């Protein structure tokens, strides 16, 4: 076993906190620093560390689309979900808001994709998960998950939802 540090700073300044992580199919890493609202792009193969954005309030969840073309960030303090279109090269990216819940106080927390590219969004304080099609920008479904929905992962036809004092599984039908 060999443990190596892939990045610990940007432009000579050490990371304050690194929280969420998403990995692109090409191996690029995207990590969030929740206190600064910054998402960093790390290219371990070439030793690159750059800022993807610096315009979020606090990132609570990250997910990379299966095709590696879009990164989704949940931002509970601003009650919105932001999508970043990720180019192959290291140029600036375009971003757009998929859903803005303000001023309702809804807090998007966790995000996950299935293999078909559907986005699952955990809405902690609503006890539900919503499903979106990014290409169409449409909400496809809502699921009551019977408790807080803060963290979410997809695996083999099921959603795994953590929140409060429970871990739950929701088996999906196509």
Residue 169: alpha-carbon gap to chain centroid: 19
- Predicted local distance difference test score (pLDDT) of residue 135: 87
pTM of the model: 0.90
> Is the residue at 162 inside a domain?
yes
The DSSP bridge partners found for residue 131 are 120, 141
| Domain harbouring 62, CATH code | 2.120.10.30
Residues 3 and 31: their CA atoms lie apart, in Å, by 18
Poorest-confidence range of 4-8, 14-18, 92-96, 117-121? 92-96
Overall domain count for the chain: 1
CA nearest to 134, candidates 94, 89, 85, 167: 85
SS3 label, residue 25: coil
What is the tens place of the pLDDT at every residue in 102-145? 888 889 999 999 999 999 999 988 999 999 998 898 999 999 99
Residues 108 and 98: their CA atoms lie apart, in Å, by 12
Residues 113 and 152: their CA atoms lie apart, in Å, by 10
107: domain range? 9-171
> Is the residue at 4 inside a domain?
no
CA nearest to 87, candidates 63, 66, 71, 73: 71
């Amino acid at each position: 076993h060999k443990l190596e540090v892939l990045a610990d700073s940007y432009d000579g300044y050490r990371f304050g906190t690194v929280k969420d992580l998403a990995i692109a199919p090409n191996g690029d890493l995207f990590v969030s620093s929740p206190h600064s609202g910054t998402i960093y792009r790390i290219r371990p193969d070439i030793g690159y560390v750059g800022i993807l954005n610096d315009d979020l309030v606090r990132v609570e969840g990250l997910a990379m689309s299966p095709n590696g073309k879009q990164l989704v960030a949940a931002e509970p303090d601003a009650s919105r979900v932001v999508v970043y279109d990720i180019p192959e090269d290291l140029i600036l990216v375009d971003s757009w808001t998929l859903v803005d819940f303000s001023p309702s106080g809804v807090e998007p927390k966790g995000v996950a994709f299935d293999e078909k590219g559907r986005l699952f969004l955990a809405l902690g304080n609503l006890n539900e998960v919503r499903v979106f099609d990014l290409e169409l920008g449409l909400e496809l479904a809502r699921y009551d998950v019977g408790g807080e929905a803060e963290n979410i992962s997809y695996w083999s036809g099921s959603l795994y939802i953590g929140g409060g004092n429970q871990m739950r599984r929701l088996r999906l039908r196509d």
